A and B are shown apart, each in its own frame.
Chain A
């Protein structure tokens, strides 16, 4: 009997598989496909202080082995998430959920984290300082070690829940940003968010996406994400959630060997609604195949 349990900042997960923010709504939408209590946990849709419609459409473009999205943090706002979305989730999910938060100012991050800190259903906060699809916020905090430090420190003062900072790969030195978050008191690092990309339609000769550029995700980005998890694992001592192009149990194991304590699955949920369920169900046999007894024990196993 293999052991798929991992410990994420003191909270045990039955398995390390976590649907990534923005690909799983507020969870209950997927309850029509399968029992979502199978999941380790999931990270809910990026939530901001005010409701947001997001960017104009088209917001989606297909790529080889991936896709680009420029949704732009569409969400009903933190108040509505607390009053409407979390109660709707409750009958479907009995585990602690990961709350993904985004903002345009430190005050906004503080406001959202303060409110979400009061919610019993929430186990962890995942602070997104890496959205490539909004201007004047999001990613701008994640591209400077100083700003990343400041946001981390600020949200840590308003919550007792473990705080993961979600980082963008669109930087010259991911390690310095991750270290700044650790210095600011982060309990963990989520990486990576999407890579900034674009497509041009040969018929119209114009960008496919209304916002011109968007976040590239899907299988194609797995090696980039894996490399960054590997690099950051060497530099920090807090847990890492590995994200980027994961779509199989093998990918989960590979990401954990690079240094991830848990793994998020994003775009794969959008093409196969059962992606996470299938990964979780095949994990034990895949572990057997590679003679792995316990997932917790392989974290960072690729490092010497």
Chain B
């Protein structure tokens, strides 16, 4: 289980490159000791912006972390302009992250858009535990597809879906569900999570996104109701068990 450790520290930007349409990959060096589970996130302070930007951790590297983000507003557009050597103030170790004990032998991972990155480190962990991973990675168009080869290289069976059919299977991630799987891990926009919730038959873990201020459980900005009471997406989530979701 993930320990309740969070930290504020400075990271140094090593690379910041476009990897798909409106999608960037940022490698940072710094103390990643508090990033203890796949699916956790960091909250980044940006010059000129009042609130930090919460971004899920794609990969914990030997000496830092990798983040993948989409430019969706002025904050992430500013992030895309940052250059090598930039020092960034991060809160790390935020959120609960995924757990793998319940995954069974053939877990199914479903990511939509920038919901894909946190599944990367999860794949790595599941594969290291000897599990057979199928990853459905869904995007709007082929231009937005990223990391398909990276997931394959980890040993996952990768299925790509695009809404316009320009790459992989045409349609939504739910159009590509395999016949059998032991457990579901998913992350993506809420309409996709709802569709996955309805279309999948096993238990699973769903990672949510919400507008937040602090990212560490203080402001109650990102609360949601669950079967087990009120939870804060930033602190008690972002990963919720399928069984507790009120849909």
Contact = CB atoms under 8 A, between A and B. Distances in A.
Interface of A: 22-25, 29-30, 32-33, 45, 53-54, 57-67, 69, 71, 74, 208, 218-219, 267, 269-274
A74 B223 contact: yes
B213 A270 contact: yes
A207 B7 CA distance: 33
A205 B75 CA distance: 19
Interface stretch (B160-168, B192-200, B214-222): B214-222
Contacts of B91: 273
Interface in B57-111: 75, 91
Contacts of A208: 211
A125 B210 CA distance: 33
B50 A271 contact: yes
A265 B221 CA distance: 18
A184 to B, nearest CB: 30
A284 to B, nearest CB: 23
A271 B230 contact: no
B223 A33 contact: no
A53 B226 CA distance: 11
Contacts of B218: 23-25, 29-30, 269-270, 273
A274 B216 CA distance: 12
B143 interface: no
23 contacts: A22-B219, A22-B220, A23-B219, A25-B218, A29-B216, A32-B5, A45-B220, A53-B225, A53-B230, A57-B223, A60-B211, A60-B213, A61-B211, A62-B49, A62-B51, A69-B219, A71-B219, A71-B220, A74-B230, A267-B213, A271-B214, A272-B45, A273-B91
A208 B230 CA distance: 22
Contacts of A69: 213, 219, 221
A144 B75 CA distance: 40
Contact of B221 (A24, A53, A59, A274): A59
B219 A54 contact: no
A74 B4 CA distance: 23
Contacts of A272: 8, 45
A32 B6 contact: yes
Contacts of A271: 45, 50-52, 213-214
Choose among B75, B221, B222, B224 the residue with the greatest number of A CB atoms under 10 Å from its CB. B221
B212 interface: yes
Contacts of B216: 29, 273
A174 B200 CA distance: 57
Interface in B202-245: 210-214, 216-225, 230
A25 B220 CA distance: 8
B48 to A, nearest CB: 9
Contacts of A67: 50-51, 213
Nearest to B230: A53
A161 to B, nearest CB: 25
A208 B221 CA distance: 13
A29 B50 contact: no
B219 A60 contact: yes
A127 B4 CA distance: 33
Contacts of B8: 33, 272-274
A54 B224 CA distance: 10
Contacts of B210: 57-58
Given A267-B213, A271-B213, 6 more contacts: A32-B6, A53-B230, A59-B221, A60-B213, A63-B50, A74-B230
A54 B50 contact: no
A272 B225 CA distance: 27
B230 A59 contact: no
Nearest to A63: B50
Given A25-B217, A57-B224, A270-B213, A65 B6 contact: no
A66 B50 contact: yes
Contacts of B223: 53-54, 57, 59, 71, 74
